[in-house]
């Protein structure tokens, strides 16, 4: 050990000291003589680090915040020119003493709440505003708007006005049925036809307005059902009777299921005197049914043709004259109507040219393999009369002479189709 004389550290009298830093160091050495400043700074740094580690876990502070706090404390401690307050000295000394003695029991440890968070459970209470799934769906259904355009609804008459009536359809507001939409044609006894409490079926033609009211129509619903019935009759190829109620230069007009039908002059049996059929009932069949364009065309000739078809059935042997040769087959006159012998139904052999088989005006025999009442078409078949493929091309006279016996064998193929 060696002793340091304090007198050697003090400036001599009469000697000027121009270094401001030396003065500051001498003053600080006098005040902090018991502990060198290097030791003090080091202890302060370790104490601050200890307090930061003990006070908060690393998970609660980000690295950026910890670094910022450490740098601020270190800069504050490293400024030798600034004076440290007595309270700061005291707190730092206590922390240093605590670190030297390794006595951490006096420090308060942070409370570990991770386990408590994991074991925490929230008990939900049911109140009056809670909905289960069924109640939620029922609430949606109750608030769903009633009366989409094109929808059919049943309702009850609740009020009658001069321009229409109101129908209860189950919505927030009743549906309004204008007088002109109450039916087909002119209705004179409007109030008698729609008494209060009458249940009717209507069609929505206009959706809800701002007041929640929809516009409905009985006439539109009648017309829709009429088009559906007419289309069904047309597909079945049925014949109907109509009353001629008018005529024009092109033909006659009639009423069908509340719809306006037209019969062209070319589709009448006697088109030259068509005006004489006014107010008379005739039998017709449908040629064209188009609800989108509201086009309804009928034919008296087709009705006559369908009447003849009623005497025909699939597999029947029929005789006719070849009317025309087409690239796809032959048209055959069957006595008032024609049938089509398609090239695929002529023979089971290979054909190079259709005219090598039959010619115009030639009498042939064939089996009926198709009856289309809607289109008014008959399909014919001669290949079923062959005993071997291509026999009709080699000896067609033999095939036609034995046609009756051969037809009996082929008719078994059509028994299920006829039923």
Give tens-digit pLDDT for 18-57: 444 444 444 444 444 444 444 444 444 454 455 554 444 4
What is the homologous superfamily of the domain 312-418 according to CATH?
Nucleic acid-binding proteins (2.40.50.140)
Model confidence, pTM: 0.55
pLDDT in tens, 63-104: 554 555 545 554 554 444 444 445 455 544 544 444 444 444
Q: What is the dihedral of CA 16, 20, 23, 25, to 10 degrees?
A: -150
Cβ of 149: how many Cβ atoms within 10 Å?
A: 12
What is d(CA 411, CA 179) in angstroms, rounded to the nearest whole number?
60
Terminal alpha carbon distance of the chain: 134
pLDDT of residue 409: 86
Read off the pLDDT band of 15 (50, 70, 90): very low
pLDDT of residue 19: 45
Where helices occur in 56-106 by DSSP H, the ranges are 63-78, 86-101
Torsion of CA 198, 204, 208, 209, to 10 degrees: -90
The residues spanned by each domain of the chain are 152-221, 239-305, 312-418
Q: Average pLDDT, whole number, for the chain?
A: 75
**Domains 239-305 and 312-418 in one fold:** yes
Contact 339, 376 (CB under 8 A): no
Where does the pLDDT of residue 60 fall: very low under 50, low under 70, confident under 90, or very high at 90 and above?
very low
Given the candidates 2.60.290.11, 3.30.1540.20, 2.60.120.10, 2.40.50.140, the CATH classification of the domain at 239-305 is: 2.40.50.140
Rounded Cα gap, residues 102 and 107, in angstroms: 11
- At 200-256, the pLDDT tens digits run 999 888 887 777 788 999 999 999 999 999 999 998 888 999 999 999 999 999 999
Burial class of residue 150 in the structure, from the number of CB atoms within 10 Å of its CB (0-12 exposed, 13-18 middle, 19+ buried):
exposed
According to the 3-state scheme, what is the secondary structure of 9-34? CCCCCCCCCCCHHHHHHHHHHHHCCC
Q: What is the 3-state secondary structure (H, E, C) of 60-72?
A: HCCHHHHHHHHHH
Please name the CATH architecture into which domain 152-221 falls.
Answer: Beta Barrel (2.40)
């Amino acid at each position: 050990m060696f002793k340091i004389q304090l007198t050697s550290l003090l400036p001599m009298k009469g000697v000027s000291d121009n270094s401001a830093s030396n003065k500051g160091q001498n003053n600080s050495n006098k005040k902090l003589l018991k502990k060198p400043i290097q030791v003090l700074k080091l202890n302060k740094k370790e104490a601050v680090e200890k307090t930061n580690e003990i006070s908060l876990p690393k998970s609660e502070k980000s690295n950026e915040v910890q670094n910022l706090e450490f740098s601020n404390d270190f800069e504050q401690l490293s400024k030798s020119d600034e004076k440290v307050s007595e309270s700061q000295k005291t707190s730092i000394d206590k922390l240093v003493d605590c670190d030297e003695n390794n006595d951490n029991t006096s420090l308060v440890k942070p409370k570990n709440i991770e386990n408590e968070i994991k074991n925490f459970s929230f008990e939900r209470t049911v109140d009056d505003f809670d909905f289960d799934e069924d109640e939620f769906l029922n609430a949606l259904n109750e608030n769903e708007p009633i009366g989409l355009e094109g929808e059919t609804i049943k309702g009850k008459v609740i009020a009658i006005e001069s321009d229409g009536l109101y129908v209860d359809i189950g919505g927030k507001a009743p549906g309004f049925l204008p007088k002109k939409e109450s039916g087909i044609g002119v209705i004179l006894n409007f109030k008698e036809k729609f008494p209060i409490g009458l249940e009717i079926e209507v069609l929505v033609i206009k959706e809800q307005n701002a007041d929640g009211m929809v516009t409905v129509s009985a006439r539109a619903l009648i017309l829709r059902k009429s088009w559906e019935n007419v289309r069904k009759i047309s597909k079945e190829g049925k014949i109907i009777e109509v009353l001629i109620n008018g005529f024009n230069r092109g033909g006659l007009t009639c009423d069908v299921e509340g719809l306006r039908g037209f019969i062209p002059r070319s589709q009448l049996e006697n088109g030259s005197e068509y005006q004489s059929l006014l107010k008379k009932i005739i039998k017709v069949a449908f040629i064209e049914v188009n609800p989108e364009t509201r086009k309804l065309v009928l034919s008296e000739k087709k009705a006559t043709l369908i009447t003849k078809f009623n005497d025909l059935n699939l597999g029947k042997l029929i005789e006719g004259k070849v009317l025309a040769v087409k690239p796809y087959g032959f048209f055959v006159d069957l006595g008032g109507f024609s049938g089509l012998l398609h090239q695929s139904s002529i023979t089971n052999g290979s054909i190079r040219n259709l005219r090598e088989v039959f010619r115009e005006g030639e009498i042939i025999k064939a089996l009926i393999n198709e009856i289309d009442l809607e289109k008014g078409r008959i399909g014919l078949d001669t290949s079923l009369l062959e005993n071997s493929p291509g026999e009709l091309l080699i000896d067609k006279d033999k095939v036609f002479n034995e046609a009756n016996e051969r037809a009996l064998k082929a008719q078994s193929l059509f028994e299920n189709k006829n039923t």
